[in-house]
């Protein structure tokens, strides 16, 4: 068993750093490609080469593996250490360089690749894709797809890693109404403002404005969440419509987890604060361009 075994892996070309770069080189087909970070770290991810001009790099997915767990194993976008005030930032995945998961399992498990912190991007695209959909069928298995086009990331260091360093997803780091991060208008690629609103619980309607994606918000108890997909909050029960978060939710440990309190009034009941079953059972894929 020797070195000869790996002779197959070889090229003299350097790699693209993003799908946008590949697009500029003329690559037109959606699919899996190898990219390289500024440090020369090689990784493989999915490129969306068709939406709104293409060139979108998949950098992460947020997947709820067990809504009954309360910041337990698999809650990598909140905390795997239980609901604990000792860990106000939880696992800190939004603002560190830890990576996890694989692109082919991005709808079955949390996923984060080096592009999340390496790319210099302007906009994000978000797909909600049904759990366990295979990469060949992601587009078909989507229930909501949208992107921004304001170049907002340019103001926050060029990616979410730097955005969340500026706006920590940390318990007690701010107040609900005073300290929200950016709310960015979105363009729908699948769905619209009405279908977006209908994915969340009926009680949430009075607190959300569809047509935006919002980053880093606090709820009534000053617990932090990372992302409100498709909406701008106007209220403070953000655990009902925002995902990810720090490691402590003061009102109830039941709010601690990647999908926070999406099942607050029962799993997939779509009653009161509970979101629609199709939303709980879809992974949130995050792209940069």
Residues that bind a second copy (CB under 8 A): 1-16, 22, 29-34, 36-42, 44, 65-66, 68-69, 72-74, 80-81, 84, 86-87, 91-92, 96-99, 101-105, 108-109, 114, 132, 134-136
Q: How far apart are CA 26 and CA 101, in angstroms?
A: 29
Shortest separation between residue 105's beta carbon and a second copy, angstroms? 4
Closest CB to a second copy among residues 36, 253? 36
Shortest separation between residue 134's beta carbon and a second copy, angstroms? 7
Quick check: 184 and 150 in contact, CB under 8 A? yes
Shortest separation between residue 289's beta carbon and a second copy, angstroms? 19
Closest CB to a second copy among residues 185, 266? 266
Closest CB to a second copy among residues 98, 155? 98
Q: Between β-strands 31-36 and 56-62, what pairing exists: parallel, antiparallel or unpaired?
A: unpaired
Quick check: 236 and 180 in contact, CB under 8 A? no
Shortest separation between residue 104's beta carbon and a second copy, angstroms? 5
Give the residue carrying structure tokens 């906009």. 123
Quick check: 99 and 144 in contact, CB under 8 A? no
Shortest separation between residue 193's beta carbon and a second copy, angstroms? 33
CA angle in degrees (0–180, nearest 5) for 283-154-99: 40
Closest CB to a second copy among residues 109, 193? 109
Closest CB to a second copy among residues 137, 205? 137
Return the H-helix or E-strand segment holding 62. Answer: strand 56-62
Shortest separation between residue 163's beta carbon and a second copy, angstroms? 16
Whose CA is closest to 288, among 6, 35, 9?
35
Q: How far apart are CA 17 and CA 5, in angstroms?
A: 27
Q: How far apart are CA 54 and CA 145, in angstroms?
A: 14
Closest CB to a second copy among residues 197, 260? 260
Shortest separation between residue 260's beta carbon and a second copy, angstroms? 17
CA dihedral 55, 60, 61, 65 (to 10 degrees): 160
Closest CB to a second copy among residues 32, 155? 32
Q: How far apart are CA 215 and CA 225, in angstroms?
A: 8
Q: How far apart are CA 247 and CA 232, in angstroms?
A: 23
């Amino acid at each position: 068993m020797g070195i000869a075994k790996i002779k197959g892996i070889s090229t003299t070309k350097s790699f693209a750093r993003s799908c946008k770069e590949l697009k500029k080189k003329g690559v037109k087909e959606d699919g899996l490609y190898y990219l390289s970070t500024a440090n020369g770290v090689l990784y493989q991810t999915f490129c969306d080469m068709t939406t709104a001009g293409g060139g979108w790099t998949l950098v992460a997915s947020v997947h709820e593996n067990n809504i009954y767990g309360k910041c337990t194993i698999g809650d990598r976008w909140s905390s795997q250490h239980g609901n604990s005030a000792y860990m106000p930032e939880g696992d800190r995945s939004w603002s560190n360089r830890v990576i996890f998961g694989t692109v082919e399992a991005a709808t079955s498990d949390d996923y984060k690749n080096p592009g999340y912190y390496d790319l210099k991007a302007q906009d994000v695209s978000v797909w909600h894709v049904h759990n366990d959909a295979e990469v060949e069928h992601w587009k078909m298995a989507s229930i909501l797809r949208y992107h921004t086009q304001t170049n907002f990331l340019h103001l926050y260091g060029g990616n979410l890693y730097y955005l969340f360093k500026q706006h920590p997803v940390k318990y007690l780091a701010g107040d609900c109404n005073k300290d929200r991060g950016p709310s960015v208008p979105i363009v729908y690629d699948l769905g619209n403002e009405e279908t977006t609103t209908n994915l969340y619980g009926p009680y949430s309607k009075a607190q959300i404005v569809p047509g935006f994606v919002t980053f880093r918000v606090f709820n009534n108890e000053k617990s932090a969440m990372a992302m409100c997909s498709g909406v701008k909050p106007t209220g403070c029960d953000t655990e009902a419509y925002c995902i990810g978060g720090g490691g402590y939710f003061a009102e109830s440990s039941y709010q601690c987890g990647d999908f926070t309190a999406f099942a607050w009034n029962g799993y997939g009941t779509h009653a009161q604060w509970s979101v629609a079953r199709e939303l709980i059972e879809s992974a949130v894929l995050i792209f940069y361009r």
